[in-house]
Structure 1
């Protein structure tokens, strides 16, 4: 079982979301680079991970 995690990456909603919640976890949805049914602005996510930092970014097209 997954018991210790810091990042939740999800999709299917087609809307970009990049928030750190009160529980300290990062929730990231990249959006969609092609479909305009659910959003006016297309996007994708970029997640930079190093030993020192986790840096999420939503890139709008």
Structure 2
């Protein structure tokens, strides 16, 4: 029963906190695009450079 109440409170809190984002849709969309472009650039750098793995010593 506690889990159900907690889940409902979580969903209500998410709706309330996301309400201002709806009012600033353009700003949040711009910020999301900037973050995605940054993530894309980071991932592309990681792919272009070789990945080096060191063997485990077995003592960890």
Q: TM-score interval w.r.t. the shorter chain?
A: under 0.3
The structure having more radius of gyration, on CA atoms, is 2
Give the structure with the higher percent strand. 1
TM-score scaled to structure 2, two decimals? 0.18
TM-score, normalised on structure 1? 0.18
